[in-house]
Amino acid sequence: MAKKANDLAHTKWMCKYHIVFTPKYRRKIIFNQYKEDLRDIIKQLCSYKGVEIIEGYIMPDHVHLLVSIPPKLSVSSFMGYLKGKSALMMFDRHANLKYKFGNRHFWSEGYYVSTVGLNEATIRKYIEEQEKHDIMMDKLSVKEYQDPFKG
């Protein structure tokens, strides 16, 4: 799939990006309870804009996406759309989140993005193995996680 070129009217393109973004305050509780809804929302919003999700994973405190974004869309405009609309959709589906996340702030500001050239397989492997690494590190850690809302 690394060599697959997409096309528009008079353009051949292969614009792939590795994107990582986090919830406000890197809260872990969100993804344990709402992982499936968030996955469906991200898939739906990407399909609306014609963005192909090549690989994606929702971790307890961040989201990894390997996406192919058409050149007519800038990465920053797509991320503004994705984070803004997904936050609104999550608050619409789960009204109780409004009280936990005041002012409808679901995602933290900013994101990490890097272009993916022909090393797509390496990035796919990294995304797939990220959860295994986090689980292993959690087993080594003796830190007890507390609910940030129960003080």
What size, in residues, is the chain?
151
Contacts of 1 (CB under 8 A, 6+ apart): 54, 120
Q: Which of 48, 57, 126, 145 is flagged as catalytic?
A: 126
Active-site annotation holds for 126: yes
* Helical (H) or strand (E) element with 79: helix 75-93
Q: Are 25 and 17 in contact (CB under 8 A)?
A: no
Return the active site residues.
126
